[in-house]
Chain A
């Protein structure tokens, strides 16, 4: 209860209001719920309540074969399915001592970067929509449709790909597909500029996001935030650069870091701009991969009944929502013993309670959207 002393001796008692944002809400990304205690517009406390989308993907890993688990990893974060595929396959390859063929590595990088662009398009599009700008969302989705068409040509599916297999990739990327990708890149780089002019540089948008929900460097490190959220706070940490895997050591790309250009360092606008810049960097990476791709088979020889020797390994990939980690334990049989998936969205949720003190209701929505949390990733 709050007390407002009005005149001498007269005190008005006001009460805080407890609201539930979600689980059915147009702008919590997926099925999430926040229990929010507010005093009018200003939030006192916002506690996330997760678990609405729990599907026991980790437990399922103990019941299916190694090859058979890869389609399930798609569903751990369906907007960034390639990365989950890659994480699990990297762990399995390390356990089974399988060397991935070179052409397969390049195909993986191409598919992953395309998927990164698609995921970031959804992220910035829904961000704009939560702030009220309905048009950029549709424009972002239009571009993502083109990427979906490309993925359909590559592996036959538009969302849950099951493309990256143990030892390489499932389908080869033909010359024709490479030409289509180049055509798309030539067109997409201009579209990102147009998107920026429509949304990113809009004064109303900047005013909504600058200095809102600032995450300081110390908070980010203490709460173990990863991915674009961490880079927006000024910390230059990217798994592709710092714990390199696949072909990333040979590629030239920048790691975009937030600079506090329109407000404080680590505010929502920084998190948004880092994603836009990452899309542009992904275009660069794609062009290099397309040029450098060698000839050769696209998948290594892996036994049908894959039985890696006993051991454990933790594989990390730089997914669009952060560092996705696959901790896999094998006991020598044809089923994994334990699969543990660590996702960036889950740790980002833990930060919401701390940051949400004193911000307004509309800013809570901006905060959730800027963290780019994804319910399937949180609950698995």
Chain B
């Protein structure tokens, strides 16, 4: 008799679990899909919705770069190449080239963390595809640009204040040994 009960049990279990599974899939038919139909059927561009910490393609604000070469040293994959030369006329150092190879870049964020002013940082850009490999090397210096010298007592020139603040705001996202987390609400 136990073989018969086993038989009937098999049939009933199969039918009930299939019934349950089909109810679940049918219920999904009634729900909203979760697809974001990028790039054309979305209310605003995805770049505007990404958080500030998002590690997209690197960008450099040459106006506040001090030329300390910290990013070049710390990069684990040597994708940043910086050239600094002495400018004979102004007797100051200029950038001759600042290249980032974005196809080598690991998007690890170590260079952004090492930067003292926050001039090199990850942007929200992620669409970097192009038709030839030469386009994957971003050149941030087209003509020689002088190095930035941070002023004691803070920046005063209005044009630069905004840039410096953007850089510092980006650096603020990183955890540092002095920053106490969870203090706002506890």
Q: Is there direct touching of A and B in the complex, by C-beta distance under 8 Å?
A: yes
Residue positions of A touching B, CB distance < 8 A: 64-65, 67-72, 101, 103-104, 135, 139, 142, 145, 152-157, 160, 162, 168-175, 194, 197-199, 201-204, 293-301, 304
Q: Is the CB of B175 within 8 A of A203?
A: no
**Does B40 touch A at the CB level, under 8 Å?**
no
**Does B24 touch A at the CB level, under 8 Å?**
yes
Question: A176 CA to B108 CA in the complex, in Å?
Answer: 23
Q: Least Cβ distance of A312 to chain B in Å?
A: 22
Given contacts A198-B25, A203-B13, contact A155 B53 (CB under 8 A): yes
Question: A300 CA to B176 CA in the complex, in Å?
Answer: 8
List the 3 closest pairs (A to B, CB-CB), nearest first: A68-B76, A71-B108, A298-B175
Given contacts A103-B181, A295-B181, contact A65 B76 (CB under 8 A): yes
Which of A162, A169, A175, A300 meets B182, CB within 8 Å? A175
Q: Is the CB of B177 within 8 A of A145?
A: no
Q: Is the CB of B107 within 8 A of A157?
A: yes
Question: A197 CA to B185 CA in the complex, in Å?
Answer: 40
Residues of B142-172 whose CB lies within 8 A of A: none
Q: Least Cβ distance of A199 to chain B in Å?
A: 8
**Does B55 touch A at the CB level, under 8 Å?**
yes
Q: Is the CB of A172 within 8 A of B109?
A: no
Neighbouring A residues of B34 by C-beta, 8 Å: 142, 145
Question: A198 CA to B53 CA in the complex, in Å?
Answer: 37
**Does B14 touch A at the CB level, under 8 Å?**
yes
Question: A160 CA to B13 CA in the complex, in Å?
Answer: 43
Q: Is the CB of B51 within 8 A of A203?
A: no
Which of A69, A169, A175, A203 meets B14, CB within 8 Å? A203
Residues of B8-40 whose CB lies within 8 A of A: 10, 13-14, 17-18, 20-21, 24-25, 28, 34
Given contacts A156-B51, A157-B55, contact A71 B110 (CB under 8 A): yes
Which of B55, B113, B114, B182 meets A295, CB within 8 Å? B182
**Does B75 touch A at the CB level, under 8 Å?**
yes
Q: Is the CB of B176 within 8 A of A297?
A: yes
Neighbouring A residues of B181 by C-beta, 8 Å: 103, 172-174, 295-298
In the complex formed, the residue of A with least CB distance to B178 is A297
Can you list 23 A-B pairs, Cβ within 8 angstroms, ordered by A? Answer: A64-B76, A68-B74, A71-B106, A71-B108, A72-B106, A104-B175, A135-B25, A152-B53, A154-B53, A156-B54, A157-B107, A162-B110, A171-B175, A172-B175, A172-B179, A172-B181, A197-B24, A198-B20, A203-B10, A295-B181, A295-B183, A301-B177, A304-B114
Residue positions of B touching A, CB distance < 8 A: 10, 13-14, 17-18, 20-21, 24-25, 28, 34, 50-51, 53-55, 74-76, 106-110, 113-114, 122, 173-186
Which of A68, A197, A203 meets B75, CB within 8 Å? A68
Total inter-chain residue pairs, C-beta < 8 Å = 120
Q: Least Cβ distance of B97 to chain A in Å?
A: 23
Which of A72, A154, A202 meets B21, CB within 8 Å? A202
Chain B contact residues: helix, strand, loop or mixed:
loop
In the complex formed, the residue of A with least CB distance to B56 is A156
Which of B108, B179, B180 meets A162, CB within 8 Å? B108
Question: A169 CA to B176 CA in the complex, in Å?
Answer: 9
Question: A177 CA to B182 CA in the complex, in Å?
Answer: 11
Q: Is the CB of A69 within 8 A of B76?
A: yes
Given contacts A172-B175, A175-B185, A295-B181, contact A67 B74 (CB under 8 A): yes
Neighbouring B residues of A162 by C-beta, 8 Å: 106, 108-110
Neighbouring B residues of A304 by C-beta, 8 Å: 74, 114
Question: A145 CA to B33 CA in the complex, in Å?
Answer: 13
Question: A198 CA to B21 CA in the complex, in Å?
Answer: 5
Question: A172 CA to B182 CA in the complex, in Å?
Answer: 9
Neighbouring A residues of B50 by C-beta, 8 Å: 152
Question: A67 CA to B24 CA in the complex, in Å?
Answer: 47
Q: Least Cβ distance of B115 to chain A in Å?
A: 12
Question: A223 CA to B51 CA in the complex, in Å?
Answer: 45
Neighbouring A residues of B17 by C-beta, 8 Å: 201-204
Q: Least Cβ distance of B138 to chain A in Å?
A: 19
Which of A65, A145, A160 meets B106, CB within 8 Å? A160
In the complex formed, the residue of B with least CB distance to A165 is B175
Q: Least Cβ distance of A359 to chain B in Å?
A: 22
Neighbouring A residues of B25 by C-beta, 8 Å: 135, 198
Q: Is the CB of B179 within 8 A of A297?
A: yes
Neighbouring B residues of A154 by C-beta, 8 Å: 53
In the complex formed, the residue of B with least CB distance to A142 is B34
Besides A65-B74, A295-B186, 14 other A-B contacts (C-beta < 8 A)? A69-B76, A70-B108, A71-B106, A156-B55, A156-B122, A157-B109, A160-B108, A170-B113, A174-B181, A202-B21, A296-B181, A299-B176, A299-B177, A304-B74
